[in-house]
């Protein structure tokens, strides 16, 4: 059964990481459901769990690097131009991502323990899923004014970056809140998703680095078979998900994700308040 859990966890990570539905919430829910069913969720210790978490993030990161390989190349060109003190569109794109990334790095460093130990309840996930689903719907009704990342303004990037800090609360969704505020500030749907997903590069890399440091400090750094398999499935499902998402937003709206969020949040509230569901620690 541990392999069933691993496969489901990997696929859930890959699918939900870049959709506006909160990957952290879904990972918590998957674990809680397995625990509630009395199914063991790991055969290893805390170090093995940390290694698996790192692998899932690395797999997701690899998918974004592959899909946005041209944009990633632009970022490196922008860095080269910045080192040579040259102004270019590539440099501007790099700066837009940097100013949008700084807030969540600071917030994540200051609030890491609060988020880890105090904001992981299913009740919080349910309410955040509904509230920010409604906000996404409202934002998606706004006019589309910006259609390319080169035309984005720094105030727009800063607003998206500040909003990302809210995603430290499970159920909000980092990509979701970035897409929401992007739409609120006038980005069209494909651009709001593109910028949100590009912002995941430093965010996921930073989270993976922090987890790696924790693993190293634990003095038990190792790469398990579970981690390798989990990372592979996370990579494959994340790449497929991003590809389909970007194609969908070329023609359609965020409404299906809003409906999903409202349905999931409502179901969780019914289970919590109607049936007294209160999953506890493993």
Alpha-carbon distance 120 to 266, whole Å? Answer: 18
| Residues 191-246: tens digit of each pLDDT | 999 999 999 998 888 777 766 676 666 665 556 677 888 899 999 999 999 999 99
Q: Which of 185, 140, 190, 142 is nearest to 162 (CA)?
A: 185
| Residues 179-192: tens digit of each pLDDT | 999 999 999 999 99
Alpha-carbon distance 168 to 41, whole Å? Answer: 24
Contact between 176 and 20 under an 8 Å Cβ cutoff? The reply is yes
Query: 76: which residues sit within 8 A by CB, 6+ positions away?
Result: none
Greatest CA separation for the chain: 63
Is the pLDDT reported for residue 1 higher than 50?
no
Minimum mean pLDDT range among 43-47, 128-132, 174-178: 43-47
| Residues 101-156: tens digit of each pLDDT | 999 888 877 776 666 556 668 888 999 999 999 999 999 999 998 888 988 999 99
CB-neighbour burial class of residue 124 (10 A; exposed 0-12, middle 13-18, buried 19+): middle
> What string of DSSP letters covers 44-76?
S-HHHHHHHHHHHHHHHHHHHHHHTHHHHHHHH
- Which of the 8 DSSP states describes residue 165? G
- pLDDT reported for residue 168: 86
Is the pLDDT reported for residue 261 higher than 80?
yes
Sign of CA dihedral 53, 55, 56, 57: positive
Burial 204-225 (b: 16+ CB within 10 A, else e): bebbbeebbeebeeeeeeeebe
């Amino acid at each position: 059964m541990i392999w069933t859990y691993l496969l489901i966890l990997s696929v859930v990570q890959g699918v939900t990481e870049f959709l506006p539905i909160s990957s952290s919430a879904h990972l918590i829910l998957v674990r809680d459901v397995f625990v509630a069913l009395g199914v063991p969720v790991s055969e290893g210790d805390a170090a093995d769990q940390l290694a698996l978490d790192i692998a899932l993030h690395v797999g997701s990161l690899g998918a974004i690097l592959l899909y946005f390989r041209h944009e990633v190349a632009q970022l490196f060109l922008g860095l080269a131009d910045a080192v040579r003190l040259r102004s270019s569109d590539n440099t501007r794109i790099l700066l837009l991502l940097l100013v949008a990334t700084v807030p969540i790095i600071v917030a994540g460093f200051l609030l890491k323990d609060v988020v880890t130990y105090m904001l992981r309840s299913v009740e919080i996930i349910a309410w955040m899923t509904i509230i920010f689903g409604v906000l996404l719907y409202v934002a998606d009704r706004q006019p589309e004014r910006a259609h390319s990342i080169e035309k984005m303004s720094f105030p727009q990037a800063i607003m998206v970056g500040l909003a990302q800090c809210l995603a430290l609360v499970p159920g909000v969704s980092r990509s979701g809140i970035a897409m929401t505020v992007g739409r609120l500030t006038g980005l069209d749907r494909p651009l709001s998703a593109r910028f949100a997903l590009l912002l995941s590069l430093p965010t996921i890399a930073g989270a993976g680095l922090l987890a790696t440091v924790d693993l190293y400090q634990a003095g038990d750094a190792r790469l398990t078979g579970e981690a390798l398999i989990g990372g592979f499935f996370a990579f494959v499902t994340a790449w497929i998900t991003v590809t389909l998402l970007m194609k969908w937003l070329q023609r359609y709206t965020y409404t299906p994700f809003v409906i999903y969020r409202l349905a999931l949040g409502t179901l969780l509230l019914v289970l919590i308040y109607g049936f007294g569901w209160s999953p506890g620690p493993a």
